[in-house]
Structure 1
Amino acid sequence: MGALYSPDQGLFTDWLRTETGPLWAQATSHAFTTELLEDSLDDAVYRRYLIQDYVFIETLVTVLGHAVAAAPGMPAKKRWAHFLGLITAEENDYFLRSFEALGVPEHERETTSLLPPIQAFATLMLEAARSNRYDEILAVVVAAEWVYLSWAEKAVQPYPKRFYLREWIELHHNPMFAGIVAWLRAELDNIGPGLSADRQAIVAHRFKELVRLEVAFFDAAYGR
């Protein structure tokens, strides 16, 4: 771990991103997201990824539930609850339509287990959530959602013709999602500078590990 945060390094979340070193670029410019944006991603790769992400969603919902409980004050709790609602409604509808198009039967998606790298990803998020520490929950959620916003922002028209690729981009490249990520970052930027040195180190470690496991998540889609 590098030196701890100081205000002259910019926003706290910018410092966290810097502390990830080359991992940030590996996560946001991965072959998986590049091929997705270019509409050259093999359906078999995306199918594997989407099933794993669907299984993982239950973990994310659990994490967001902990975030609602840990958030300091009703305004923040309402923002987290709104985000939770989007995950359980809009994204779930997307998954079901995409599975039908990709030929994924209900039995397969309901009985598939997480691959080891993705299980590690889920475990890290659950550890942060069960700490009941708002700073740790923010660290992993900001890392995960900011990575997705960052790769999706590279999208240029025309988007992929396959609706399941196009809509996955659109779910992560729109003003609402950008606003959610901006708010999440602002929450962490607000509390991060006031954390003790030990707490800053823990938050930075959580953030970096999450980004590392995002890379592993994308790798796993290729069967690596």
Structure 2
Amino acid sequence: MTGRSAALVARQAAALDDACGCRFVREATEGELSDGDFARYLVIEEAFVLTAARVLGRVVWESPSWGTLLPHARSLTNLVTDQRDYFAALRDRWPVDAVDAAATQVRARSLSDVVLTQVAADGRPAAVTGMLAAETMYARWCTAAAGAAADAVTRRHPDLQAWIDLHTGPDFLAQVNALSDDVDALDPDEVTDEDLDRWFRSVLRAEIEFHDAVHG
């Protein structure tokens, strides 16, 4: 990560630390996440993957060239294949009753609301910046979780480990790089650092509320 994206991440280091330090991430990393919390997480994360797919669809729509379009088309393909398949395979194994699922989704909805509102108001620049916030958070905490102590990894459920693995592999990291490249290319005369900070920080704050929702 270089240029404007690297400077953005550096300016928002405290917000990123806060998001990566939320209870869900701590417990997932240490292998201490309860079954009920993981089941509720699957409900809301699958819903957010739909939001992310919609956002990347907007990015693809507003991409002016093959060079700017193709990386996000690949990311969108990953969301609607590998990630969607992950959730589909786990629904029967991790059931959540309808009332609990609905209540959890209400508590978690601020993340989708923030992302979609920013994109509706400010288009492609807000889309790539907001998604960079979300994906940078996941790249960071999942990489840390992958390198956690052996006893923590042993305690972690294999289904959670599979989700972590999806976010440390080359396909996902390519998504992060594509978003970073797009932020680097934004014209500072049209999109200020203040704009980038606002979009990035708002998503990270919403990420904390989103992940806290799984704890009931």
Quickly name the TM-score band, shorter chain normalised. 0.7 to 0.9
Give the distance between the partners of 1:127 and 1:137, measured in 2 at CA. 10
3-state SS, counterpart of residue 22 of structure 1: helix
| Structure 2 residue 111 is matched with structure 1 residue 121 | yes
* C-alpha contact 1:47 1:102 (8 A) present in aligned 2: yes
Partner of residue 3, structure 1: none
3-state SS, counterpart of residue 92 of structure 2: helix
| Offset, 1:104 | 4.0
3-state SS, counterpart of residue 94 of structure 1: helix
Deviations 1:80-105 (A, max 9, x none): 11111111111111112222221347
* C-alpha contact 1:149 1:173 (8 A) present in aligned 2: yes
Give the AA of the match of 2:172. F
Partner of residue 150, structure 1: 140
Give the distance between the partners of 2:32 and 2:17, measured in 1 at CA. 20
Q: Tell me: CA distance 1:127–1:199, structure 2 relative to 1, closer, same or farther (3 Å).
A: farther
* C-alpha contact 1:70 1:132 (8 A) present in aligned 2: no
Partner of residue 201, structure 1: 194
Instruction: Summarize the alignment of residues 29-108 of structure 1 with structure 2, pairs less than 5 Å apart.
Output: 29-104=21-96, 108=98
3-state SS, counterpart of residue 195 of structure 1: coil
Normalising by structure 1, we get a TM-score of: 0.83
CA RMSD of aligned residues (A): 2.4
| Offset, 1:195 | 1.7
Q: Tell me: CA distance 1:199–1:77, structure 2 relative to 1, closer, same or farther (3 Å).
A: same
Q: Tell me: CA distance 1:96–1:198, structure 2 relative to 1, closer, same or farther (3 Å).
A: closer
3-state SS, counterpart of residue 196 of structure 1: coil
Partner of residue 210, structure 2: 217
Normalising by structure 2, we get a TM-score of: 0.86
* C-alpha contact 1:56 1:114 (8 A) present in aligned 2: no
| Offset, 1:204 | 1.5
| Offset, 1:62 | 1.1
The total of aligned residue pairs comes to 209
Partner of residue 124, structure 2: 134
Give the distance between the partners of 2:179 and 2:3, measured in 1 at CA. 13
Partner of residue 170, structure 1: 165
Unaligned runs of 5+ in 2: none
Give the distance between the partners of 1:217 and 1:119, measured in 2 at CA. 7
Unaligned runs of 5+ in 1: 1-9
Give the AA of the match of 2:22. H
Partner of residue 180, structure 1: 175
Partner of residue 11, structure 2: 19
Choose between structure 1 and 2: higher helix proportion.
Answer: 2
3-state SS, counterpart of residue 54 of structure 1: helix
Give the distance between the partners of 1:136 and 1:207, measured in 2 at CA. 9
Percent identity, please.
22
Give the distance between the partners of 1:198 and 1:82, measured in 2 at CA. 25
Deviations 1:178-211 (A, max 9, x none): 12212211221122xx322763322220111001
3-state SS, counterpart of residue 203 of structure 1: helix
